[in-house]
A and B are shown apart, each in its own frame.
Chain A
């Protein structure tokens, strides 16, 4: 026991010596995030394993399990933690990769070994979270080694070792029966117990008795990896937010009633004071409720910064990693979900995007130091996250050749450039020649697209060979708040995202020219922009003649502008975007709805859709 303690302290000291001090707090934060994330991955992995137990050929579950291992391995690679975890995940991944390719059936011993690895990863994770990056105990380490040996055997030569493994398991089973009478340490092992597998459980059983981790814990407990957030059921939170919204509306109605009532309120100071108090509380509540789900991208982006720095060191490249818009706020769900894809993309940009050596860059007439920009911003009610590099760009011919070679498409397939670029999102596609722990297994972009699509977002590639590529993730906002310009057309109120608005002007005296009497063009600052009649383009019935008092709202989305004529501008306001639900998802030009202060619904316009409609596509 003593030796363990010393060993651990020594390791701890070593780590401290190597670390720059300012990094430490950051590392802890990062480690906490890593642990939460990996635990989630493991949870998912357990579920997929259950599926695979009955259907070893289930490709979806196999892919998902593989990805889980891959993500854990990838993340662990960047942490200053004991490498056992990474190695174990890597070996499990190797076996799973064989299963995916159909060279191995995930049953019998292979299945059990993978199952054990997953359970073991959980044990290792817990050990790490308890001792902030510490080394696992010898028991755990030796158990890991056994599992890894088994995995490698399975990977490299079929199942001829079954007899021996069975024997091992028999003996391990024996230990379980011995130990299982002690309820203390089985109490918190439910998840693993459900699938109690011999060696792992046996080791676990040993752990608490001799546990160097728990013992040495006391000495290190000053900085445990604590999670200070509180997990709340999502539905409850949504309900709370909705109810507060109702409260605000009810409150403003009460205020209005009080003001319009005939009695002079100044005669009732008590009532007046109470109303003011009510008003203050509801406003604060509303602000709070709106911010409950929103978190800045900062932590995710900083993590990317770290990922980029570590990767640069690993592949010895010099790259300027620039972060823009890290304060862009995003729904918590998005921030959680976007981490994985972003990490893959940042790695891709540095590992594949930027040229292998400064000499190549200089020869191509570029600065020796590469540049990767990670940028987030709102555009017309969507959130955009861009990863831009000034590297070599994507080679369309090479992607095509590789896709054909990997039989992702037919030999004679005729694809457009964009379609070819999209091939990199296919499962199993990778142009990297070597499998490393950074990239090359072809899971990266597959995960990226899957995760982003799960958020109902899209991902675009812009690339120019020799000049670099830019990946843009575009996501709709579910519960995000935008600043909106409230306008009236006929009797209907619309919300135009303020970010898209470039200017407001009166129709009177503006230069309008018509083309074949049907299309109107407005000249704004020497630029011709199409004039959009909202009532016409949105198919509203009131199509009165344009009143001369109309106001022109000039909107811009990307490089395109349009002028929208509205009857009146009612003001500017923060609104919460809500989806209109299943039935109305397909309405073009409509991005969602917002509940206005009077309790009615205002329609949020989708400027992108309107402009593309105005441009006739």
Chain B
């Protein structure tokens, strides 16, 4: 009896802790009418649209690469990633450089968004769990939904967004490590 109570307690505290962790500062941006939030600690910098060099044979959601102070980083088009309608660039189009973990290594990746709004402090009690999106879409890319009087902000689990299988580095068979088949 007492053990069950304990178990229940620990479960609730576990959940509470998880939501508590979600509270904090988020950088919000827009894709069309939808508002998204990124954990501020993952954001390196925000830059306006620069010329993105397309990379041949890259996955469709990779817009190309840019030069970030001497480092070449990929730019992911979030609209393409989420299979949303394509829109032309405007002067508010932004690239947010985020620092993500790819297979244990930290890497800078740029994500292309319609515009950047503001930095919001979101309390944990305003954050709800990710909704279930049916079988068509996996909701693992959503950390949670933040409610505010006028709008709902989708808090992105950016690591999950960017580590989708199509973006995974292709191991071993890269053209560089390929051995000549004959001579």
Contact = CB atoms under 8 A, between A and B. Distances in A.
Interface of A: 241-243, 245-246, 382, 456-458, 460, 462, 474, 476, 492-493, 538-540, 558-559, 578-591, 593, 595, 599-603, 606, 608-609, 612, 617
Contact of B72 (A493, A578, A608): A578
Q: Which of B51, B54, B176 has its CB near the most chain A CB atoms (within 10 A)?
A: B176
Given A243-B70, A585-B170, A587-B58, A382 B65 contact: no
Nearest to A457: B177
A602 B53 CA distance: 7
Interface stretch (B12-20, B40-48, B102-110): B102-110
Contacts of B74: 580-581, 583-584
Given A582-B169, A584-B62, A601-B53, A595 B177 contact: no
Contacts, number: 120
A540 B56 contact: yes
Contacts of A492: 53-54
B167 interface: yes
B44 to A, nearest CB: 14
A609 B167 contact: no
A589 B69 contact: no
B70 A606 contact: no
A462 B170 CA distance: 28
Which secondary structure characterizes the binding site on chain B?
loop
A595 B181 contact: no
14 contacts: A456-B176, A458-B178, A474-B179, A538-B56, A558-B180, A559-B183, A581-B72, A581-B107, A583-B62, A584-B58, A585-B176, A603-B53, A606-B175, A612-B181
Contacts of B71: 242, 578
Nearest to A537: B56
Nearest to A609: B175
Nearest to A493: B53
Contact of A591 (B72, B176, B180): B176
Which residue, A460, A588, A606, has most C-beta atoms of chain B within 10 A? A588
A457 B177 CA distance: 6
B21 interface: no
Interface in B142-183: 167, 169-170, 173-181, 183
A539 B57 CA distance: 6
Nearest to A477: B176
Contact of B57 (A590, A595, A599): A590
> Which 9 pairs from chain A and chain B are nearest by CB?
A586-B170, A242-B70, A538-B56, A609-B175, A601-B53, A245-B70, A476-B176, A582-B169, A587-B57
Interface in B115-137: none
B176 A601 contact: no
Interface string B49-90: 001011111110010111101111110100000000000000
Contacts of A590: 55-57, 175
A149 to B, nearest CB: 45
A423 B74 CA distance: 38
B110 to A, nearest CB: 11
Contact of A601 (B58, B72, B170, B173): B72
B56 A608 contact: no
Contacts of B67: 595, 599-601
A464 to B, nearest CB: 12
A584 B70 contact: no
A458 B177 contact: yes
Contacts of A559: 183
A344 to B, nearest CB: 20
B43 to A, nearest CB: 18
Interface centre among B70, B102, B179 (most CB of A within 10 A): B70
Contacts of B69: 242-243, 246
